[in-house]
Amino acid sequence: MSTGTTGTRPTPDLRTTVLGLLALLLVAACLRPAITGVGPLLDGIGADTGLGSTGLGLLGAVPLLCFAGVSPWIHRPAVRFGVHRTVLVAMLVLTAGIVLRSVPGTPWLWLGTVAIGCGIGVGNVLLPAVVKRDYADRLATVTGVYSSVTTGAAGLGSGVAVPLAVATGDWRLALAAWALVSLLAAGVWAWRSRL
């Protein structure tokens, strides 16, 4: 799909439409699990890192603070570099954050969580704009599907966190697994952006 903001947009063929929707839904699926998966694992995180209830509460609040900090400023780089490129960078930052959060050492936990919050914050702002721009003729349908995927992925992230931690024997690996999804989303999004 064209990423231009002026002129008449060509009608995309079926392959482009399907790939574009797949990329959109993969990114949507990445906007919650890296956060919702933390709650069920807080006891293990606290035991391993020595964080008390205040520290764990702050850990859960950091992504929300990042959302608030990033959201008002993201439109300027999106205009300068393009929405698609900015979303791609956000997915790469999210992937890096997920990996960093899983590196042993409390500083990495905090740094990774900040990166996760910033990456998701960008996606939260720009993905609805992509839906509105690229799917204006099917806005209600695509918005409904996108919202359902985001909500479903949030529940999945929470639901599989403990089983993954038990299966791998490590909460870090359970949380790190979502880096595979965000990396896949970044790859498909990059491919989409070339069409």
- Mean predicted lDDT score pLDDT of the chain: 91
Local structure of residue 102 (DSSP, 8 states):
T
pLDDT of residue 194: 77
Residue 105, φ and ψ in degrees, nearest 5: 120, 125
Each residue's pLDDT tens digit, 6-28: 444 556 677 778 889 999 999 99
Pull the structure tokens for residue 26.
């993969």
Share of the chain above pLDDT 90, in %: 84
The SS3 of residue 148 is helix
Question: Predicted confidence band at 3 (pLDDT cuts at 50, 70, 90)?
Answer: very low
pTM for the whole thing? 0.89
Q: Write the CB contacts of 162 (distance below 8 Å, at least 6 apart in sequence).
A: 40, 41, 174
pLDDT of residue 12: 65
Averaged pLDDT, 3-7: 44
Question: What is the rounded distance in angstroms from the CA atom of residue 30 to the CA atom of residue 16?
Answer: 21
- Reported residue count of the chain is 195
